[in-house]
Amino acid sequence: MTTQNQSFNADISRLLDIVANALYTNHDIFLRELISNSADACDRLRYDAITKPELIADNPNFRIHIHKDTETRTLTIIDNGVGMNKKELTDNLGTIAKSGTASLMEKMSKTKEQKDRLNLIGQFGVGFYASYMVADRVTVISRKAGSKSIWVWESDGRSGFEVRNASANEKELLDGDRGTVVILNIKDEGSEFLLDEKIKQTVQQYSDNINIKIFLNTSDETDKGEGQPINSASALWARPKSEITKEQYDEFYRHITHGFDEPQMTSHWHAEGKIEYTALLFLPTMRPWDLYDPSRKSSVRLYIRRVMIADDLDGLMYPWLRFVRGIIDSEDLPLNINRESLQYNPVLAKIRTGITKRILSDLDKLSRDEPHAFITFWGQFGSALKEGLYDAVEHRDAIFKVCRFYSTHEDGEKFVSLSEYVKRMKDGQNEIYYISGENTEALKNSPQIEGFKSRNIEVMFFTDTIDDFWLQQVEDFQGKKFKSVTKGDINLDDNDNKDNDKDNGKSNESSEKINKLSERLKEILKEDVENVRPSKRLTNSPVCLVASESGVDMHMERVLKIHQQYSGETKPILEINEDHPLIKKLATLSHNDNNNENFNDAAQLLLEQARIIQGESLKDPAGFAKRMSFFMEKGLM
Ligand code: ADP
Ligand code: MG
C-alpha cells in the first residue's frame, strides 16, 4: 500500500480553522454542499457518456445514497458520478482553485454577523470543506469512471491529508464500478446529523429539486439496499409553471447559488418556434463578491435536452448580464460536439438574443410593478448592466429603458429614467444635460450646474465609472444628444423664455472691463488653462473649469487615465462669473492698477479654487497655502 502525506497550504489551513470554529454558522449547509458535489459529478459523467457510452453501460442510473451509523458515528454519502483519480483527489480536495479566496473568507469571519456569512462557503468554490463544521475526520474513497484504481483521501482537517490505496473494505462501499464515497466522522456539534429525520428534512429542504435521485438507507448497516427516495429528482424547469410554487423556485435558486436569500426576480419560460429552449433565470438580491473580477464568468448553466453541458459557457450570456443566475435547457443544440465549438454555434447566439430581450423586458416590467425591488436591483447591478450600452448596440434601447440616474430634479433624491428626463425638457431644449463625477453629493454643489438650477433646467448626474465609458460611444437617446455641462460653450439663454436674460442692462463699459480681465488672467495662467472667458453657467460661484468643445471632460479624463485608456493632456477653460463681487472687484482693480503686485497671486488662487471644487489635485499645494494665508491675513485685519 502506498501512502502519501501532504500538508495543506497556508490558505486551506486558515480556511479550515475558520470552518472548524464556525459556531454561529448554519451547519446544515455541509450536506447541501456534499450533495451538490455528488450531483455535479453525476452531471459530468452523463455528459462524458454521450461520447463514451461504455462508461455507464453497467450502471446507467445516476443516484446518490446517504446513510448513517450511530455506532461508529459516521455519515456516508455515496454517488455513482464521474469520480476522481489520485491526482484529482489531491488537486481538488487539497488546494483552493481561486487565489485570494481564503483571505477573503478570513476577513468575513471577523465578526459574528460575518461568521453567518460562512453560510455562503459554497459560493467560494470551497464547499467541500464545510464538512469540517460537523466532522473531525473525512474520508473520501473514489474511483474515476473508466479507471481501475481506487484511491482514498483522508484528513482530520488540521495539518494535512493523506492519499493512499483503498482497502478491501473501503472498495466495497462504492456504488458499482465508479463514483465517490464521502465518510464523515461526526463530532459532538454535528450529532443531529446521525438522525434519519434530520438528514431527510435537510435534504428535502435544500436538495429537493436536484435532478438526481437521492436515497436514504435507514438501516444502520452499510448495505446498499435501495433505501427510500427522499427527493423529487425531476428537472424543475421542465415542469409546467402552474405546478411550481414560489417556495420551489426559491429553493432551486438557493441550490444553484449556494445561498440563503430569495431571488429578486424569477423568470421561467419556454420558447418555441425556430428555436426551442426553456429558461429558468433569477436575479439575485446581493451583488456577488467577484462581480468585477475580470476572470468572473457568467454563471448560467447550459443543459441540452436535460443533460448538463457547462456552468459557465462563453457566449451563452452577455458579460454585462453576468449577475443573472439560472439554467437554459436547449432542444436544438447538438449534444455530441465539444463545449468549445458550441460557443460558435449560431443557435447559441439566437438563444442569447432571446434571453437578453426577455430579461430586459422583465426588468422594465419590474420597474413599473415593483419599483422598490427594481431600485434594489439597480443599486446592486446597474453599473454592470450599463456596460451593455456600448457592448451590445442592438440592445441599447432596451437597456436605456431600465437605466436610472439621479438628477437635479427634486433635489437629486429620486432615481429618474432618461425618458422621464426627455418628457420634462424645456421648450427649445434639444440636449440631455449631464454632469459626471464621483458622487451625487459633490455634483449637487458643482458650480457648473448653478445656471441650470436657477433656470430650472434638469441636469442628470452620472456617477458610475462606467458612465464615462459608454458616453464615449453613445451619442444620443431618442435623438437627443448627451451634452456635458462641464464642456464647451453653453448658451443657456437659448433655452430660456428670455425672462431673465442676463445681458439686459449690462453696460458696454463693464463688459469691456470683464474682457480685459479675462485677457489678463489668460496671460498669467496660460501654462495651465487654454482660455479664460465670462461664464453663462455660473450664478453663485466666482469661477469654474470646463473642457473645451473638442476636449475631454476633466472627470472623464481622470477616469480614462486610471484605466489607462487615455494619455493626452488637455488644458481646461477657466470661466469667470461677471456678476460675482470678487470678479467685479478684480476687474476694477485690473482696470485701475495694472501693476498691483497681488494680482498674480489672486489669479492663481482663482484657478486653484476651481480645481479644488472639481476634485482635482493642486499642482503646488504649498504655494496655494502660502497665497491663501497671505490673503486671509489681509482679510482678517
Ligand atoms: P466546487 O464544487 O465549487 O468546485 P468544492 O469544494 O465543493 O468546490 O469541491 C471541490 C472539487 O472537488 C469539485 O470541483 C470537484 O472537482 C471535486 N469533487 C468534490 N466532490 C466530488 C464528488 N463527489 N465526485 C467527484 N468530484 C468531486
Ligand atoms: Mg461544491
Q: What is the DSSP string of 215-258?
A: EEE-SSS------EE-S--S-GGGS-GGG--HHHHHHHHHHHHT
Spatial contact of 552 and 566, defined as CB atoms under 8 Å apart: yes
Domain boundaries, the chain: 3-232, 237-375, 405-495, 508-635
Residue that wins the pLDDT comparison between 546 and 12: 546
User: What is the CATH code of the structural domain delimited by 3-232?
Assistant: 3.30.565.10
Distance 41 CA to ligand 2 centre (A): 10
Place of cell 489531491: 90
Spatial contact of 485 and 549, defined as CB atoms under 8 Å apart: no
477-494 pLDDT per residue, tens: 999 999 999 998 887 776
Residue 527: how many other CB atoms lie within 10 Å? 7
Question: Backbone phi, then psi, for 120, in 5-degree steps?
Answer: -95, 15
Residues pairing with 379 in the sheet: none
Among 199-208, 420-429, 457-466, 539-548, which is the least confidently predicted range? 199-208
From the alpha carbon of 130, which atom of ligand 1 is closest? 6
Task: Decide whether 405-495 matches 508-635 in CATH topology.
Answer: no
For the 508-635 domain, the top CATH level (class) is mainly alpha
The proportion of the chain whose per-residue pLDDT surpasses 70, expressed as a percent, equals 92
Q: What is the DSSP string of 155-208?
A: E-SSSEEEEEEPPHHHHHTSSTTSEEEEEEEE-GGGGGGGSHHHHHHHHHHHHT
Residue of 19, 128, 152 with the most ligand 1 atoms within 8 Å of its CB, for mutation = 128
pLDDT at 491: 76
424: alpha, beta or left? (left if phi > 0; alpha if psi -120 to 50): alpha
Please tell me the number of the ligand nearest to residue 83's CA: 1
How far is Cα of residue 313 from the mean position of the Cα atoms in its chain? 18
For all residues of the chain together, what is the average pLDDT? 89
333-367 pLDDT per residue, tens: 988 788 888 989 999 999 999 999 999 999 999 99
Distance 37 CA to ligand 2 centre (A): 5
Burial of 222 (C-beta count, 10 Å sphere; 0-12/13-18/19+): middle
**Which amino acid does the sequence have at 434?**
Y
Q: In the chain, how long is the greatest CA-to-CA distance?
A: 106
Q: Residue 266, SS3?
A: strand
Determine if ligand 1 sits within 6 Å of the CB of residue 127: yes
For 317, which DSSP code? B
Residue 150 has pLDDT above 50, yes or no: yes
Residue of 37, 45, 308 with the most ligand 1 atoms within 8 Å of its CB, for mutation = 37
Determine if ligand 1 sits within 6 Å of the CB of residue 179: no
pLDDT at 141: 98
Question: Backbone phi, then psi, for 594, in 5-degree steps?
Answer: -65, -15
Distance 137 CA to ligand 1 centre (A): 17
Determine if ligand 1 sits within 6 Å of the CB of residue 225: no
Determine if ligand 1 sits within 6 Å of the CB of residue 60: no
The proportion of the chain whose per-residue pLDDT surpasses 90, expressed as a percent, equals 64
Is CATH 3.90.1310.10 the classification given to domain 405-495?
Answer: no
Residue ranges in 293-345 assigned as alpha helix (H): 339-342
Distance 476 CA to ligand 1 centre (A): 49
Residue whose C-alpha is closest to residue 149's, from 125, 174, 127: 174
Burial of 149 (C-beta count, 10 Å sphere; 0-12/13-18/19+): exposed
Is CATH 3.30.230.80 the classification given to domain 237-375?
Answer: yes
Determine if ligand 1 sits within 6 Å of the CB of residue 126: yes
Determine if ligand 1 sits within 6 Å of the CB of residue 92: yes
Pull the grid cell for residue 203: 435534504
| Atom 19 of ligand 1: nearest residue by CA position | 37
Q: How far apart are CA 170 and CA 50, in angstroms?
A: 30
Q: How confident is the model at residue 502 (pLDDT cuts 50, 70, 90)?
A: very low
* 556-560 CB contacts, 8 Å cutoff, 24+ apart: 556/436, 556/468, 556/471, 556/472, 558/616, 559/465, 559/468, 559/469, 560/468
Determine if ligand 1 sits within 6 Å of the CB of residue 208: no
Q: How far apart are CA 413 and CA 419, in angstroms?
A: 18
Q: How far apart are CA 391 and CA 217, in angstroms?
A: 52
Q: What Cα–Cα distance (Å) separates residue 123 from each residue in 9, 178, 210, 299, 429?
A: 21, 27, 17, 11, 49
Q: What is the mean pLDDT of residues 590-599?
A: 81
